[in-house]
Chains A and B, each alone.
Chain A
């Protein structure tokens, strides 16, 4: 499966750090907003 511009972005639900808390975040939480999603290889390295 490959992503394609002008097609729906793959949905996800992940745990993570929001502020100083652990929380679950879904892509669909941001429906109605522009989202900039960035992947990076490893914590403690430059983004």
Chain B
């Protein structure tokens, strides 16, 4: 996919390291510690009553613009497939219809619209 993955929770970096050591094994991406909860708040995913973040996934472009996000409640896991689909679609820079899958045709550009 050639995108940088970053994981964030409100745990401490020491808790992250313990998790890596005991269960996960060395990860190919950083796990970051938002123990002040400010970043979770900034992204609108902080559940105040738990002091923990919802399962939010944010796709950010090379220019630093937020391009897509999905936030779900704690009880439902993510779809990695859907995240990959959206990143791949965004990277084409073309119009991708509903349910578009990599390799499928794009829609023609709309006149007067950048198509992004």
Contact = CB atoms under 8 A, between A and B. Distances in A.
Contacts of A16: 8, 13, 16, 30-33
The 9 lowest CB-CB distance pairs between A and B, nearest first, are A16-B32, A34-B3, A39-B53, A10-B42, A14-B32, A41-B52, A35-B60, A43-B19, A9-B66
A38 B11 contact: no
Interface residues of A, number: 40
Interface in A1-47: 1-10, 12, 14-20, 22-23, 25, 27-28, 30-44, 46-47
Contacts of A3: 42-44, 58, 66, 69
Interface residues of B, number: 59
